Structure 1
Amino acid sequence: MTFKNKVIWITGASSGIGKGLALELSKLDCKLILSSRNKEQLQKVQESCKNPENIKLLPFDLAHYANMVQVTDDALKLFERIDILINNGGISQRSPIIETSIDVDKKLMEIDYLGTVALSKALLPHFVANQSGQYVVVSSLMGKFSSPLRSAYCGAKHALHGFFDALRLEHDKDNIKVTMICPGFVNTDVARNALTADGSKQGYQDDMTENGLQVDIFVKRMLNAIRKEKYEAYIGKFEKFGVFVKRLSPRLLHKLILRSKVK
């Protein structure tokens, strides 16, 4: 698969991985729709991109998942079609289960799961009509195994795998592809913006995120996985091997994570 002449819609495009994808894809012969809640930040990303005339902005909030049919209609009017939807928008969480308000669990599910699912379902008739389309879902290694202090985040990411594996099976006949991207630690603001037990932002970076892959390196590996239409891609440093350790021995992975003192 090539990105040439494709229309690519990226959510969570105002910072981090989404911004990195926009910068890299703007160098190629394709058109982009950039979305996030923050219009001003989207404008700054657009200004930083190559060929900004091939980029349209569509701000919206994933938490308002009841609005996704209208949002999708608005997106389709921009370039008259969409070939790839990169579901990148979302938030994380850092807090012990026993202290975490159920409202935090609800918010993570609304944004990371229901918002993504509602948007993808709204676009599905367009993909079916064209008998073509690719969903790219930025999940996490935490969608394959869990670690402490991320219970709501892990739950939402695990749910994404269940939904999109079913979508891939149902619409194989329609030539619709699904690529699940599972990042490990990437040096973005995800930890700073993570919700704590009461729903407030953590506000600081953690060492493992700080020492994770740089965004530009991650994005190149992610785009390679999208080109190859991989079902799943695990992108990180040593932490990505947790997926394979869990297959071998969930008990061993449990012990290794406890010893690593992940925070």
Structure 2
Amino acid sequence: MMNLSTLPLTFLNAIVPTLVVAVSVHRWVLRKEFPVHQKGAILISGTSSGIGRATCEWLAGQAIPTNYFLCWRLPNVKQVILVDITNQHHADAVIEQIKVDQVPLIALVNNPGLDDISTFEFMGVYTIRKIMEVNVMATYMLTQAALPIIQQNKGRIITVSSAPGLLPGGRLLAAYQGSKHALEAMFDALRVEVAPHDVSMSLIEPGFFLQSNSAEPSTELATTTGSMEATCQNIQDAIFEKYPKPRYLTSRVGALPSWLAARVVNVLPA
């Protein structure tokens, strides 16, 4: 039997891109077209800062004739709902408000982002539980509450995960990465469930972003940073493209540059 370790590196460099292209073409032929909505409501969670807030500002500035139901007051935003996303009653109330207003919900953008940079050995149980509660359970509750009207309107579900949630990256992020891996598995499974209802499910895989309260990042973390503008554009594309991708990646993963990593993750089983 041939020992793969003896294959020349040049051969591997040639065959891997070829395989990626072949699988990409196969998936392109089999890709599913989804309905595109130009009017309706987009519900975005986690908008007080970071990706959520930037996405609100980005979409509000695109002159898209859509009602935005947000958790933070911004210019050009037609309605704001302040909620505790970890509260099931609040999640249900948001969906009921959308029903009362008789505005079709065309997209749900889940944007959970609670983390804690510390060693797993000294991380308290309360901290780990809170990260899982916000990043996983709150996302599950809001998605489940919204799912009936999302399916009724043939809308979109977009969930902001993380590049380290796709592949391990960075230290001191065990609980955060665990929560993002959980989102990856949960929404990959959900994609299969909702596709027959003409509902698309996309995962956004940004890198790390510096916030105003962020400490100076390590070199390891800095190499996985992504562009906030690119992430916002990816979310917009996932909402409005006819052929939304299963995953949108804006940062490098390990040694892979972002453009190659994006090609690779979208040939993975969806």
Q: TM-score range by the shorter chain?
A: 0.7 to 0.9
Matches within 5 A, 1:92-241: 92-130=115-153, 132-146=154-168, 147-189=170-212, 192=213, 204-206=215-217, 212-226=225-239, 227=241, 228-237=243-252, 239=254, 241=256
> Could you list the per-position Cα deviations for residues 36-92 of structure 1 after superposition, in whole angstroms to 9, with x for gaps in the alignment?
3xxxxx22xx12xxxx2x521011122224542223212333452210011113311
Q: In the TM superposition, what is the alpha-carbon distance from 1:20 to its structure 2 partner? A: 1.7
Distance, in Å, in 2 between the alignment partners of 1:155 and 1:217 is: 25
Distance, in Å, in 2 between the alignment partners of 1:2 and 1:20 is: 23
What is the root-mean-square deviation of aligned Cα atoms in Å? 2.8
Distance, in Å, in 1 between the alignment partners of 2:69 and 2:196 is: 29
Aligned residues: 221
Distance, in Å, in 2 between the alignment partners of 1:115 and 1:242 is: 32
**Alignment partner of 2:210: what SS?**
coil
Letter matched to residue 121 of structure 2: I
**Cα distance 1:162–1:140, how it changes in 2: closer, same or farther (>3 A)?**
same
- % same residue: 23
Q: In the TM superposition, what is the alpha-carbon distance from 1:218 to its structure 2 partner? A: 3.1
2:42 pairs with 1:8:
yes
State which structure, 1 or 2, has the greater radius of gyration over its C-alpha atoms: 2
Q: In the TM superposition, what is the alpha-carbon distance from 1:173 to its structure 2 partner? A: 1.3
4+ residue segments displaced more than 6 Å: 242-245
- Does the 8 A contact of 1:187 with 1:215 survive in 2? no
Q: What stretches of structure 2 of length at least 5 have no aligned partner?
A: 1-34, 265-270
> Could you list the per-position Cα deviations for residues 158-177 of structure 1 after superposition, in whole angstroms to 9, with x for gaps in the alignment?
11111111111112211111
**Cα distance 1:93–1:136, how it changes in 2: closer, same or farther (>3 A)?**
same
- Does the 8 A contact of 1:13 with 1:89 survive in 2? no
**Alignment partner of 2:43: what SS?**
strand
Distance, in Å, in 1 between the alignment partners of 2:163 and 2:38 is: 29
Distance, in Å, in 2 between the alignment partners of 1:79 and 1:101 is: 44
- Does the 8 A contact of 1:3 with 1:29 survive in 2? no
- Does the 8 A contact of 1:13 with 1:34 survive in 2? no
2:95 pairs with 1:72:
yes
> Could you list the per-position Cα deviations for residues 190-216 of structure 1 after superposition, in whole angstroms to 9, with x for gaps in the alignment?
xx4xxxxxxxxxx63425667834423
Distance, in Å, in 2 between the alignment partners of 1:6 and 1:207 is: 42
